[in-house]
Amino acid sequence: MRYFAVMTDRAPDPARRSERARRAILEAALALCRERGYDGTTIEAIAAAAGVGKQTIYRWWPSKGAVIMDALNEAGVTSAAFGDTDDVRADLRKQMTSVVRLMNDSQFAPIYRGIIAATQSDPELAQVLRERLIAPRVAACAARLRRAQQEGQLRPEVNAETLVEVLYGPLYYRLLLPGRRLDRALVDTVLDVVFAGAGLAPGVTVTAGAPAARR
């Protein structure tokens, strides 16, 4: 480290300077979103707060939405990685619980809700949200579900991408619609219903983990 420090005393390493600027931009973007909301945040303000020129931002990101999405990605969404043990239900529970934690985080949640709100009337931002934040996570979850289907832990004929929506839909419902507070208990109920079903229709017998069917 000392060697590099000496080296950079005269000629600062451009890669390190770039990384410092990049982090300053992402941190400024989040701080401004927290303060003014997504709509009130501008590229100009991010540049000023980060101490860089507007052109530096546009060299790395195509739009304000893209900067803020990357800022969100780095700020916390990375904590919600997928487990890959032999127990798909435990892996889902861990991941979904970390999503609940993020959705209740007073730093993250208002910005995320603000971005989803803005996408309702901004198709370009919706595309950025899809590509940078949602699609990679849906793909990771669907891949985990498909492995569980191959291993006989989940019915193979249920579409994995739709199952992702059944699992996470109730979390987003509580995040975006006024009503009940999003909590970890929701994750357990959703997993209980998705794995065992809520039905007691004639012909379907649940023999463990649930009370016997009533006739």
Who's near 134: CB < 8 A, 6+ residues apart? Answer: none
CB of residue 18 vs its own copies: minimum separation in angstroms? 30
> Nearer Cβ to its own copies, position 2 or 155?
155
Is there binding between residue 134 and its own copies (CB under 8 A)? yes
Is there binding between residue 32 and its own copies (CB under 8 A)? no
Give the C-alpha separation, 51 to 146, whole Å: 46
CB of residue 12 vs its own copies: minimum separation in angstroms? 40
Is there binding between residue 181 and its own copies (CB under 8 A)? no
CB of residue 121 vs its own copies: minimum separation in angstroms? 6
Q: Are 162 and 148 in contact (CB under 8 A)?
A: no
Task: Name the nearest CA neighbour of 63 among 11, 18, 123, 140.
Answer: 123
- Classify 156 in phi/psi space as left (phi over 0), alpha (psi -120 to 50) or beta: alpha
The 56-95 site mask, x for binding its own copies (CB under 8 A), equals ---------------------------------x------
Is there binding between residue 106 and its own copies (CB under 8 A)? no
**Gyration radius (Cα) of the chain, Å:** 22
Give the C-alpha separation, 163 to 170, whole Å: 12
Q: Are 50 and 25 in contact (CB under 8 A)?
A: yes
Is there binding between residue 14 and its own copies (CB under 8 A)? no
Is there binding between residue 169 and its own copies (CB under 8 A)? yes
- DSSP-derived secondary structure letter, 78: G
> Nearer Cβ to its own copies, position 80 or 213?
213
Give the C-alpha separation, 117 to 39, whole Å: 10
> Nearer Cβ to its own copies, position 7 or 198?
198
CB of residue 47 vs its own copies: minimum separation in angstroms? 24
Give the C-alpha separation, 91 to 85, whole Å: 7
Is there binding between residue 147 and its own copies (CB under 8 A)? no
CB of residue 189 vs its own copies: minimum separation in angstroms? 5
Is there binding between residue 103 and its own copies (CB under 8 A)? no
**Amino acid symbol at 98:** S
Binding site for its own copies (CB under 8 A): 37, 89, 113-114, 116-121, 126-127, 129-130, 134-135, 138, 152-159, 161-163, 165-166, 168-174, 176-180, 186, 189-190, 192-211, 213-215
